[in-house]
Amino acid sequence: MPERNAVSWTTMISGYVKGEEPLVGLKLFKEMKSERKVDPSMDTVVAVLAGCANSGGFYFGVSLHGYVKKVNLNEKNVVLTNALMDMYSKCGYLDVAVKIFNEMVERDVLSWTIMITAYAFHGKGKQALQLISELLESRVAPNEVTFLSALSACSPERLLVEGQRLLRKMVQCYGFKPKIEHYGCVLDLLGRAGLLEEAKMLIEEMPILPDAVIWRSLLSACLIHGKLDLAEVAGKKVIELEPDDDGAYALLWHMYSSTNRHEDVVKIRKLMRNQKVRKRPGCCWIEVNGIVHEFLAEDRLHHADNDFYWILESISEKSN
């Protein structure tokens, strides 16, 4: 483009963030700032904050918050405040997110949903349920995503009864039709409680065809509670629906191996070869001096790899 304005930059940054490439979006924002031709708009800041939230770029997000204060962008704007709250909560600073939420002059349904999701993300189910109770008493109407966030918050603390009650309220009082994600939350609660037959019955009675996520949830619960016959059924369903899912093969392989079912171990390996399934490398991000770096397992392409491995070897030598 011969000339770029704030809309051009924001569109590209937002596209990368929504396309699950937040690091590229953050890099593009730095390029925009370095050119010093266009000032970021409110929409630009919101898009970049989303990128920080999705990549764990806390210091990048904090510096952006400082920029908001410096140029006197409207901090009371609901969209901007929601983005700041989301960034802080996803970067691990729940207390800051709570402070922003409590100081909000105006809240929309997304504000409530972000805060409930934040409590869920940090494993605080009871606080999430308290918050949705306050929401239901307010003038703001909840939506299906709000209920989904509250249901997901029930899992870490195994609040099965509360989760089931919440689902009923969603259907009976607000007329929402549960989606597969809502059923998935209840299934997870049943699995954590060890109620595997009830979980299987829920899958069979669902008015929606179960996807691989549903079966994978049942598979994990069955392995945890030692229900290996049902785990095998669930694992085969996952492979049937997602033949490229390396995790399902690995779980079944481990189950067969631990129970000395050597013929089944061989069959799983052969099936993986035939499907050309390869284990996906692990991935992590780390922020150093405001720059977010991405690392893959056994990846030696990062420009600072030699330095990292030298430090790791030094630590290993000293520990021995």
pLDDT at position 135 over 80? yes
261 sits in the region (left: phi over 0; alpha: psi -120 to 50; else beta) called beta
Q: Return phi, psi of residue 298, to 5°.
A: 60, 25
299 alpha-carbon distance from chain centroid = 24
Q: What is the mean pLDDT of residues 97-114?
A: 94
C-alpha closest to that of 91 among 292, 297, 308? 292
Q: Which pLDDT value is given to residue 2?
A: 72
Q: Which pLDDT value is given to residue 160?
A: 93
DSSP 281: P
Q: Which pLDDT value is given to residue 302?
A: 56
pLDDT at position 205 over 70? yes
Q: What is the mean pLDDT of residues 116-133?
A: 95
How are the residues of the chain apportioned to helix, strand and coil, as percentages rounded to the nearest 5? Answer: 70, 5, 30
Question: CB-hemisphere CA count at 13 Å for 21?
Answer: 10
pLDDT confidence band for 226 (50 / 70 / 90): confident
Share of the chain above pLDDT 70, in %: 86
Q: How far is the C-alpha of 24 from the C-alpha of 21, rounded, in Å?
A: 6
pLDDT at position 91 over 90? yes
Q: Is the pTM of this model over 0.85?
A: no
By the 10 Å C-beta count (0-12 exposed, 13-18 middle, 19+ buried), 144 is classed as: middle
Residue 156: strand, helix, or coil? coil
Q: What is the mean pLDDT of residues 192-202?
A: 93
pLDDT at position 247 over 80? no
pLDDT at position 245 over 60? yes
Lowest mean per-residue pLDDT among 56-65, 165-174, 218-227, 291-300: 291-300
pLDDT confidence band for 283 (50 / 70 / 90): low
pLDDT at position 261 over 60? yes
Share of the chain above pLDDT 90, in %: 48
pLDDT at position 176 over 70? yes
Q: Which pLDDT value is given to residue 37?
A: 81
